């Protein structure tokens, strides 16, 4: 299978004064295009830390992360921010939707913000906003929320809010979507519906997902599962 991401001897430590806490101790991992990969392990072993490093939200203490042979650990902060906006989508346990915006606006906003960072004429900006809303509507329809476009997060169920978050993560056509405990805050029945959406998106769009989870149902439906043990990967 073709590699999308290669993680090479990744280390991450945190410091409290002179005290060093080694969380990741030499992680090596290849992540393939179009796969659903789950990362599992006991609490505190570094699952979310690894996800944050892959998502460029933090930098490793040592080691390298390659996206299609491009070493992103060598990027400047500005280059990393641009890469993150263009290449990575995020779905968190707590959906982090903006409460003052509708489902449609929450999804479209991610596209509008990205486009606003480019120098555009007024006419191009208008066309971009129209495209953002049309794409957002299509994505919400694809995750079964065509009847909930104008609803605010407070008017949606937990599973519906998480599906909005998935649509938002997809709107910029990222190389990979990173999900941190996406079913951790919803009930079992709703979790199954969210898993159906993830698998459907993976099959229809060949979207790559990396999912940190304690939920064995996700790992059972994933294409591959790895475990973090003592700061390293044990497949």
Closest CA to 203 of 136, 142, 152, 120: 142
Region 35-60 average pLDDT: 91
> Sorting pLDDT into bands at 50, 70 and 90, what band is 188?
confident
User: In terms of pLDDT, which residue wins out, 196 or 108?
Assistant: 108
What secondary structure does DSSP assign to 11-43, as a single string? EEEEEETTEEEEEEEEEEEEEETT-EEEEE-ST
Alpha helices in 154-234 (DSSP H): 158-170, 188-205, 216-221
Region 86-98 average pLDDT: 84
Query: What is the C-alpha to C-alpha distance for residues 229 and 235, in angstroms, rounded to an integer?
Result: 10
Q: Name the percent of the chain lying above pLDDT 70.
A: 92
Region 189-194 average pLDDT: 78
> Sorting pLDDT into bands at 50, 70 and 90, what band is 43?
confident
Instruction: Provide the pLDDT for residue 120.
Output: 57
Instruction: Provide the pLDDT for residue 235.
Output: 62
Instruction: Provide the pLDDT for residue 61.
Output: 94
pLDDT at 195 over 60: yes
Residues 62-83, buried b or exposed e (16+ Cβ, 10 A)? Answer: ebebbbeeeebbebeeeebeeb
Instruction: Provide the pLDDT for residue 118.
Output: 59
Provide the mean pLDDT of the chain: 87
pLDDT one-digit tens code per residue, 149-180? 999 999 998 888 888 998 999 998 899 999 98
Region 84-93 average pLDDT: 87
Treating both helix axes as pointing N-terminal to C-terminal, what angle do 188-205 and 158-170 enclose, rounded to 10 degrees?
20
Q: What is the pTM of this model?
A: 0.87
> Sorting pLDDT into bands at 50, 70 and 90, what band is 117?
low
Region 67-93 average pLDDT: 90
Region 201-225 average pLDDT: 87
Region 92-107 average pLDDT: 87
Instruction: Provide the pLDDT for residue 222.
Output: 84
The yes or no reply on domain 3-234 and CATH 3.40.50.300 is: yes
Other Cβ atoms within 10 Å of 118 Cβ, number: 9
Query: What is the C-alpha to C-alpha distance for residues 112 and 105, in angstroms, rounded to an integer?
Result: 10
């Amino acid at each position: 299978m073709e590699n999308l991401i290669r993680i090479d001897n990744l280390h991450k430590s945190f410091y409290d004064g002179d005290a060093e806490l080694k969380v990741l101790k030499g992680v090596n991992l290849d992540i393939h295009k179009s796969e659903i990969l789950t990362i599992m392990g006991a609490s505190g072993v570094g699952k979310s830390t690894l996800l944050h490093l892959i998502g460029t939200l933090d930098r490793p203490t040592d080691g390298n992360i390659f996206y299609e042979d491009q070493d992103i650990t060598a990027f400047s902060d500005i280059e990393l921010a641009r890469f993150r906006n263009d290449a990575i989508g995020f779905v968190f346990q707590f959906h982090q939707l903006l409460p003052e915006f509708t489902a449609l606006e929450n999804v479209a906003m991610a596209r509008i913000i990205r486009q606003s960072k480019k120098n555009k004429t007024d006419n191009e900006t208008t066309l971009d906003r129209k495209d953002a809303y049309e794409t957002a509507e299509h994505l919400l329809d694809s995750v079964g929320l065509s009847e909930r476009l104008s609803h605010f997060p407070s008017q949606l169920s937990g599973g519906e809010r998480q599906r909005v978050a998935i649509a938002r993560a997809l709107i910029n056509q990222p190389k990979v979507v990173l999900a941190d405990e996406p079913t951790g805050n919803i009930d079992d029945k709703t979790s199954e519906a969210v898993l159906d959406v993830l698998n459907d998106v993976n099959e229809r769009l060949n979207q790559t997902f990396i999912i940190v989870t304690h939920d064995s149902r996700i790992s059972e439906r994933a294409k591959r599962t790895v475990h973090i043990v003592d700061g390293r990967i044990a497949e």
